[in-house]
Amino acid sequence: MTENAIEIRGLAKTYASAKGSPAKHALKGIDLNIAKGSIFGLLGPNGAGKSTLINILAGLVIKSEGSVRIWGFDQDENPRQSRAAIGVMPQELNLDPFFSPRGALEVQAGLYGVPKSERKSDEILELVGLSDKAHSYARTLSGGMRRRLLLAKALVHSPNILVLDEPTAGVDIELRQMLWRNVRRLNQEQGMTIILTTHYLEEAEEMCDEIAIINQGSLVTQNSTQTLLSQIDGKSMVIHSVEPITDCPQHPKISTSLRKDGSLVLTYNMSDITADEVLEFARAQNIKIKDVKTEQADLEDVFLSLTKST
């Protein structure tokens, strides 16, 4: 038995052209393994192909080329088993307005062939905090509640893998925290493999064990979050002086800039120059230093440097 929850080989998707416009190559040959039990982040700018990839996993979009194995089952050879292994919370709010949350879960369970005796609708509603809305029409639910219902629907067949497509885009902080609490619990208590896309790099940094970045339909990098972060060599030293600094001093190994508050920012690579030398340089400018702090570059910097269009 493989240790990978997902194995993707040579995955390509071309959307047929609309009138007059060329065909869209949304995915251009992606190879990707996602380990069982991980919380995996799929990052990339808008239009990168994240939803296309996720919708292919979910069986909602038909791939053009390549192979997808889900929990060891080839999607084409064993469509039923591969579908049963995965639950997807889509990016779009596509709910039937005339079903209550409980009704929607029962229908979904029926679609997945979950026998009545094994259904856990009430337990799932409890988990996502919708118990008191169990019998309200979906159309009367707030945006946040609809999102929670989408999460609930993804869980009815107790999938091994839970996929969340931008689950926290545009939701308030409270709901975001609730979603993350649930996701962590499912991962830790049930060993569920979690795959998510997010725009919030901070969130990916905090939540994910492993991260893949895609851009324009191609995989840019895949690594553990720790390794990705440790690859970042850049640091900034922010210097506040007794008097506001007005001139930007020049140095071949340091890029300098001024902030509105009169502080000087010295950005450098740790492999090029030591912090001591940077500080020495600042002193040599006759700056009366009041305060110094350093800022570590973060995932945002990696992301920007890797997805810069070429």
List residues near ligand ADP by CB under 6 A.
15, 24, 26, 44, 46-52
Residue pair 167/89 in contact (Cβ under 8 Å)? The answer is yes
CB of 52: closest distance to ligand ADP in angstroms? 3
In this complex, which beta carbon is closest to ligand ADP, that of residue 26 or of residue 30? Answer: 26
Distance CA 76, CA 79 (A): 6
| CB nearer to ligand ADP: pick between 47 and 262 | 47
**Among the residue ranges 49-57, 144-152, 200-208, 275-283, the one whose residues contact Mg ion (CB under 5 A):** 49-57
Distance CA 214, CA 55 (A): 15
- When asked if residue 51 is in the footprint of Mg ion (CB under 5 A), the reply is yes
Give dist(CA 205, CA 211) in Å, integer. 9
By C-beta, is 167 or 234 nearer to ligand ADP?
Answer: 167
**Based on CB atoms, which residue is closest to ligand ADP, 47 or 110?**
47
DSSP-derived secondary structure letter, 85: T
Structure tokens at 171: 């939701």
Q: From Mg ion, ligand ADP, none, which one binds at residue 99 (CB under 5 to 8 Å depending on kind)? A: none
Calpha distance 229→250 (Å, rounded): 28
Sheet holding 86-89, edge to edge: 86-89, 161-165, 193-197, 39-43, 210-215, 218-224
The partner in contact with residue 69, picked from Mg ion, ligand ADP, none with C-beta cut-offs of 5 to 8 angstroms by kind, is none
* Least spacing, CB of residue 205 vs ligand ADP, in Å: 19
Going by C-alpha positions, the residue among 215, 217, 162 that lies closest to residue 10 is 217
Q: Which is nearer to Mg ion, 51 or 182 (CB)?
A: 51
Partner from Mg ion, ligand ADP, none contacting 200, C-beta within 5 to 8 A by type: none
Contact residues for Mg ion (CB under 5 A)?
50-51
